[in-house]
């Protein structure tokens, strides 16, 4: 989440006049995240999240995201629900951007995940994968291995201004991943961005998953690899194998990983680190003037990538066949 496009109170009131949500009491921009413009809106009917879609989100993909949230909720997964206006539509336009309202979830994200948090995320991720198994729509993952070289091209020589020699590291990793990327793993709907700020907890209990705007059809194990990167490293960038084991075991209790998926985890985790290094690098180098956004440090994922380069097998992540 972030704010790239400002919304005036009169614009918001005009937009909300098409909904049965009462009067606007307050609203404020949400600075976390990097993709879309987001606002917490308080009306006389409650709290809602307003999203204006920009940057890497294509308008033609929005029906997929919104229908997926409806589908997952119907299958028992706690996630935001798109709000329909009086015409029955869930997608509108505000400030010349596609816009939608979704329901507000109670809970807070955790800044320092512990082993119990990692186990809860593993279980929820498996539940998401099972709930999405009969979702009829599909969406190509534009940010998988086939798209990374294009992202690298957007950084040019500027990668080396962030870290000396970073351009050569990325080029080498692109060659490695393109040559070894598995294409025969079980596929389905994945979240593709299940970071701690997209998971809510009430106390120690996981209360919901949010931000499905990278969701797509891809290898289910790739989603696990993203979570290993996002949840199981310590602030000093060391990998916590106890957290990794908790996440993987909880996932496997709900949806069992096959042998091929387990064997592929090292290259998938290495590729996931490269993906977030690249997208963070592009964002770091291209912050629009005046945007209310906090670009995330790309070098966090350069350091994680160095760990993955030394991994011998999936056991280094806590995987037990």
Looking at the structure, tell me whether residues 123 and 89 fall in a common domain.
no
Looking at the structure, tell me whether residues 209 and 144 fall in a common domain.
yes
Residue with tokens 């993952």: 141
Q: What is the domain count for the chain?
A: 2
Looking at the structure, tell me whether residues 66 and 140 fall in a common domain.
no
- Dmax (CA) of the chain: 58
Looking at the structure, tell me whether residues 78 and 134 fall in a common domain.
no
CB atoms within 10 A of CB 141: 18
User: Range of 81's domain?
Assistant: 9-102
Looking at the structure, tell me whether residues 178 and 83 fall in a common domain.
no
Q: Which pLDDT does position 290 carry in this prediction?
A: 57
Look at residues 298, 248, 241 and name the one whose alpha carbon lies nearest to residue 274.
298
Looking at the structure, tell me whether residues 199 and 309 fall in a common domain.
yes
Is residue 73 domain-resident? yes
| Pairwise CA distance, residues 45 & 145, whole Å | 44
Q: Give the residues of the chain that fall short of pLDDT 50.
A: 1
| Pairwise CA distance, residues 228 & 316, whole Å | 11
Chain segment 237-281, per-residue pLDDT in tens: 999 999 999 999 999 999 999 999 999 999 999 999 999 999 999
Looking at the structure, tell me whether residues 283 and 143 fall in a common domain.
yes
Q: Which pLDDT does position 1 carry in this prediction?
A: 40
Q: Which pLDDT does position 157 carry in this prediction?
A: 82
Task: Please report how the helices 299-309 and 166-180 are oriented relative to each other, as an axis angle in degrees rounded to 10.
Answer: 50
Pairing of strands 187-190, 216-219: antiparallel
Residue 89 belongs to domain with CATH number: 3.30.200.20
| Pairwise CA distance, residues 225 & 272, whole Å | 6
Residue 164 belongs to domain with CATH number: 3.90.1200.10
Decide if 320 contacts 257 (C-beta within 8 A).
no
Instruction: Find all residues with CB under 8 Å of 60, minimum gap 6, and list them.
Output: none
Looking at the structure, tell me whether residues 74 and 123 fall in a common domain.
no
Instruction: Find all residues with CB under 8 Å of 118, minimum gap 6, and list them.
Output: 231, 232, 243, 244, 246, 247, 250
Query: Cα dist. 259→256, 290, 310, 314, 317 in Å?
Result: 10, 49, 21, 11, 15
Looking at the structure, tell me whether residues 22 and 140 fall in a common domain.
no
Q: Which pLDDT does position 36 carry in this prediction?
A: 83
Looking at the structure, tell me whether residues 226 and 144 fall in a common domain.
yes
Looking at the structure, tell me whether residues 195 and 283 fall in a common domain.
yes
Q: Which pLDDT does position 34 carry in this prediction?
A: 57
3-class secondary structure, 285 = helix
| Pairwise CA distance, residues 250 & 124, whole Å | 9
CB atoms within 10 A of CB 283: 18
Q: Which of 45, 78, 102 is the last residue of a domain?
A: 102
Q: Which pLDDT does position 292 carry in this prediction?
A: 55
Is residue 162 domain-resident? yes
């Amino acid at each position: 989440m972030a704010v790239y496009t400002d919304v005036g109170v009169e614009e918001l009131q005009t937009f909300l006049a098409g909904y049965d949500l009462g009067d606007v009491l307050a609203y404020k921009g949400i600075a976390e995240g990097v993709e879309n413009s987001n606002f917490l809106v308080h009306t006389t009917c409650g709290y809602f999240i307003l999203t204006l879609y920009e940057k890497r989100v294509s308008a033609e993909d929005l029906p997929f995201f919104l229908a997926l949230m409806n589908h997952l909720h119907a299958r028992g997964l706690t996630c935001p629900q798109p709000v329909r206006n009086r015409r029955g539509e869930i997608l509108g336009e505000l400030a010349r951007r596609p816009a939608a309202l979704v329901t507000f979830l109670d809970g807070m994200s955790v800044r320092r995940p512990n082993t119990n948090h990692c186990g809860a995320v593993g279980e929820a991720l498996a539940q998401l994968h099972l709930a999405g198994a009969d979702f009829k729509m599909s969406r190509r993952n534009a940010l998988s291995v086939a798209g990374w070289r294009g992202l690298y091209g957007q950084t040019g020589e500027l990668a080396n201004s962030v870290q000396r020699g970073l351009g050569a590291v990325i080029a080498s990793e692109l060659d490695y991943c393109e040559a070894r990327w598995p294409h025969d793993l079980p596929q389905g709907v994945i979240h593709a961005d299940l970071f701690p700020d997209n998971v809510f907890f009430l106390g120690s209990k996981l209360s919901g998953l949010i931000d499905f705007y990278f969701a797509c059809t891809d290898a289910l194990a790739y989603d696990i690899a993203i979570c290993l990167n996002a949840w199981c490293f310590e602030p000093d960038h060391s990998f916590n194998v106890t957290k990794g084991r908790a996440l993987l075991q909880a996932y496997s209790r709900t949806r069992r990983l096959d042998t091929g998926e387990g064997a592929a985890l090292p290259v998938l985790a290495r590729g996931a680190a490269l993906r977030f290094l690249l997208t963070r690098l592009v964002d770091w180098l291209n912050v629009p003037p005046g945007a209310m956004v906090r670009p995330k440090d790309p070098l966090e994922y350069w350091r994680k990538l160095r760990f993955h380069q030394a991994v011998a097998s999936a056991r280094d992540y806590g995987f037990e066949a």
